[in-house]
Amino acid sequence: MAEQGKIRDRGVVIDEGFAGMQRWGLRIVIIAAAAWIIGWIIGHTWMVLYPVSLALILSTVLAPPVSWLRARKVPSGLAAAAVVLGFIGVVVGIIAILTPQVADKSGEVAAGATDGLQKIRDWVTGEPLSLSDGQITSAIEAVQDKVTSSASAISSGVFSTIGTATSVIINLVLILMLTFFFVKDGHKFLPWITTLGGARTGTHLAEVLGRSWNTLGGFIRTQSLVALIDAVIIGTGLAILGSPLAIPLAVITFFGGYIPIIGAFVSGGLAVLVTLVTNDPRDALIALIIVVAVQQLEGNVLSPWLQGKNMNLHAAVVLMSVTAGGTVFGITGAFLAVPVVATIAEILRYTNEHIDDSVSVLAPKLDSEAAETLDAD
């Protein structure tokens, strides 16, 4: 009883508080230094990590059909070769059909967007709004310059972010070869990790990697389906309105769908601006209604229903990750940001599950010890 009533000195309490702050401060510094080192390594090995990342993403799409063939006694090498070659054939066919239309009209898309911005400027600075012309003109000119400078990137397609023509070919060959090996021998990787790490470490690492793979695959397949639905609906709506650039805008909408939130907003705004120039204000208003309706359908129905609990990321986290990825690594970073964050979130969930398990196992033990102490008293 004397020990329970003992009063601690204020200096001791304050000293313990500063000691705790010191420990946590040192931990934060170490974590920040580790994060900086990891970022430095990624930046200097990006030419290697880039094709590996794209090959992993592509493998999440092609692995299920390879597994289906393997389950039917088809050799892994033959199954992987058939699926990869079939995928290449489909992609080449689509590019052969769409590239002439998109490349030839990319300049028109950029010109239409800039002309649409100019029309908006004339409206807001004229009667009856009569807003200040200075800041509006500066902002619109900045957007016009950005759109115009991006016309060549639009025409060259998704591979424009890789680099020169030689780099494109090298990266394409490397990505396809890595994809072949991933889908051919990927099913052996987790058992090898389990054996290498042992029952204690290997089991946890294999489970985390398996969950991350499933999360990444689910995100890519679902996002592809959502982007396709968005592109079909918006492209069909623009075609009904008589827009001569319906197909290029639908293609841009499809690729924009891989960058959550921001991609849909930018591609939808581009479609409205181009329709304003190629058609008339009434059709542009209809196009705006279609874009808003599609985005509401995606945000409130398609993504929650198709993704389910696969991602379980707040919209603010998605937006911040896309912004950070785009700022550091450009379009490629914006595309890879959400898969990376989703993978990290899956690792944190798994860690949290084991923390909860440890606490739940420890709590009954502490309760039993407390009960024994009371009985002894």
Task: Delimit the domains of the chain by residue range.
Answer: 107-153+189-376
Give the residue from 213, 172, 210 showing the smallest Cα distance to 87: 172
Give burial (CB, 10 Å; 0-12/13-18/19+) of 223: buried
Bond from prior residue into 128 cis (ω within 30 degrees of 0): yes
Residue with tokens 């309490």: 13
Contact between 51 and 161 (Cβ < 8 Å): no
Choose the weakest-confidence range: 57-61, 79-83, 335-339: 335-339
Mean pLDDT of the chain: 75
Contact between 230 and 257 (Cβ < 8 Å): yes
Q: Which residue has the higher pLDDT, 146 or 229?
A: 229
* Cα→Cα distances 346→214, 280, 298, 315, Å: 10, 48, 23, 16
Residue 375 half-sphere exposure toward CB, CA atoms < 13 A: 6
Give the residue from 245, 219, 251 showing the smallest Cα distance to 232: 251
Looking at residue 310, its pLDDT comes to 59
Looking at residue 137, its pLDDT comes to 58
Average pLDDT over residues 144-163: 47
Average pLDDT over residues 25-41: 92
CA 326, 118, 323 angle in degrees (round to 5)? 10
- On the question of pLDDT at 26 being above 80, the answer is yes
- On the question of pLDDT at 377 being above 60, the answer is no
Identify the DSSP state of 244: T
Contact between 295 and 268 (Cβ < 8 Å): yes
Contact between 84 and 183 (Cβ < 8 Å): yes
Reported as a single tens digit per residue, the pLDDT across 96-112 is: 776 665 555 555 555 55
Looking at residue 165, its pLDDT comes to 46
- Say which amino acid occupies 95: I
Contact between 81 and 221 (Cβ < 8 Å): no
| 3-class secondary-structure state, position 9 | coil
Give burial (CB, 10 Å; 0-12/13-18/19+) of 315: exposed
First CA to last CA distance, the chain: 12
- Residues 82, 64: Cα–Cα separation, whole Å: 13
Greatest extent of the chain over all pairs of C-alpha atoms, in Å = 89
Choose the weakest-confidence range: 5-9, 76-80, 188-192, 264-268: 5-9
Confidence of residue 157 (pLDDT cuts 50, 70, 90): very low
CA 7, 9, 11 angle in degrees (round to 5)? 160
- Residues 151, 147: Cα–Cα separation, whole Å: 6
- Residues 200, 206: Cα–Cα separation, whole Å: 11
Reported as a single tens digit per residue, the pLDDT across 206-216 is: 888 888 888 88
Give the global pTM: 0.64
- Residues 363, 302: Cα–Cα separation, whole Å: 42
